[in-house]
Structure 1
């Protein structure tokens, strides 16, 4: 029996990965390029990123027909976003000679969730630069909690943590709070030695929220040194992430049955106190939840999502 050909795109805010595999798991091509969130870099830049990856895949594999292609893209939050990305993806596809039998465009987190759970119920919580939770009842209903971006939300994320660190430093400078070792660690990371320089860094013309998110990397060292403010920030981050999970379960009218919750993102992978506190909070309120920290490459979940689509 001839194996199907799957093309999967994981289009995140910081990087975009395109992979081509057979339905049996043979890898035919994989490449990574810059991020492809059109809300951040604009439609033309995303078309360029996708076109370049598709052309490289076309040249490397010499394939003519793709049975199913899934484009899991960051930035699909509204119907207008979906329409914009539909146009962007079509423009990129026009630059190649692939003949695609079935194409799917989804929010990247939704595609990853469906790849993880298939036709079963489950929740996927992600805390990286931003934070979001998506949940499904296994019957086609998908609900979202969070993911409103750094201007209005992203609680418990790398950006949120970075902002809490900055607030702690400035409040300590104003004698409103006790000093924290976070100041020393941030200064070392940024290679600066004064509050004035921190202000200059924070309000530079080319500032991005990813820069503030990068400060979250110092939190774990401060926690390991028993800094009270750092521990407080970590514990509050865990509470905020727990609320995303709890709200998602409530939206699905969860009744206490066995349920899977998948955890992903750099904050949960590299901050043990946040992860452990979050797991404890979930287990205290939901006794039949099984928790899994995702350890596979995100593109693999997208490929699985495409494999499920082949069966539909």
Structure 2
């Protein structure tokens, strides 16, 4: 059996491929070694794979946020070894998940626009260039976190249209000290900031909100996609909830900047399943 996982900070998508190439689905909480210790990670794995703990898993392919460092990869590997000691285990960063899922064995630029943002240039085998994301404080242009920060800034600077501002106050009833408390004392502030993306989407037809989202995506493309070698000649693909739900705005930005945007999908797990599916 082959076990495939794609994990972010909030959820993990699991796929299990058996000897007949039937595919089984499971979901659990997120696994990010920057936020969970080994015991926490192991608990999430056990809960998500409760039906498959005793399955004869031969290969494991795990792709996750926070898995770019050797230390974090080893933490994830050690947890899997406790559950499936005989399996071959491969741990990779979520950026390679996006590249393999979106591009397969073809060359292209793969981008993530979800809670955070990232991108890479992929040659059909591996990542050959990566513009650093710089995380939720310094970077993450175009992400849910970035949109949340932009929106809250406009709200507390009293720059939003009155109707939008009033509705936001009615729904959330937040004062400046509430925001600061949640950002500086929340165990995962990136998730708190990203949570406002759903509200923003409801008012996307408002010209100011549309322009805010448009400029966020434009900034992402200019600071990330357009930094890659021969970017104008390559297909550009996106995965992530923000890219998917705001796809119309994203494609408009691509058209305006001469970017060849092709695939825009909500998540990479289906493409990864196809990538790792044994060839008949």
Q: TM-score, normalised by structure 2?
A: 0.85
1:26 deviation in Å?
A: 1.1
Match of 2:152 among 149, 159, 166: 166
Number of aligned positions between the proteins: 275
Aligned residue for 1:155, secondary structure, equals coil
The yes-or-no answer on 1:6 pairing with 2:8 is no
Contact 1:124 1:134 (8 Å CA) reproduced:
yes
**d(CA) in 2 for partners of 1:16, 1:133:** 20
For structure 2, the 5+ residue unaligned runs are: none
CA offset digits 1:97-138 (Å, max 9, x no partner): x632x3211002212311332221012211111111122122
Change (3 A) 1:234 1:32: same
Match of 2:265 among 284, 287, 294: 294
**d(CA) in 1 for partners of 2:30, 2:231:** 39
Contact 2:225 2:231 (8 Å CA) reproduced:
no
Matching residue of 1:240: 219
1:39 deviation in Å?
A: 0.7
Contact 2:111 2:236 (8 Å CA) reproduced:
yes
The yes-or-no answer on 1:73 pairing with 2:49 is no
Contact 1:33 1:53 (8 Å CA) reproduced:
yes
Matching residue of 2:102: 116
1:55 deviation in Å?
A: 5.0
Alignment of 1:249-260 (within 5 A): 250=228, 253-254=229-230, 257=233, 259-260=234-235
Matching residue of 2:177: 199
1:155 deviation in Å?
A: 1.1
The yes-or-no answer on 1:189 pairing with 2:180 is no
Contact 2:66 2:72 (8 Å CA) reproduced:
no
Alignment of 1:32-47 (within 5 A): 32-47=27-42
**d(CA) in 2 for partners of 1:92, 1:21:** 17
The yes-or-no answer on 1:99 pairing with 2:75 is no
Aligned residue for 1:16, secondary structure, equals strand
For structure 1, the 5+ residue unaligned runs are: none
CA offset digits 1:201-227 (Å, max 9, x no partner): 44144362211111122223333133x
Aligned residue for 2:15, secondary structure, equals strand
**d(CA) in 1 for partners of 2:13, 2:34:** 18
Alignment of 1:198-237 (within 5 A): 198-204=176-182, 205-206=185-186, 208-226=189-207, 228=208, 230-237=209-216
CA offset digits 1:135-182 (Å, max 9, x no partner): 21225343222432112211111111111111111212xxxx475544
**d(CA) in 2 for partners of 1:184, 1:86:** 48
**d(CA) in 1 for partners of 2:123, 2:62:** 23
Matching residue of 2:74: 86
1:94 deviation in Å?
A: 1.6
**d(CA) in 2 for partners of 1:35, 1:255:** 32
Q: TM-score, normalised by structure 1?
A: 0.77
Match of 2:56 among 56, 59, 64: 64
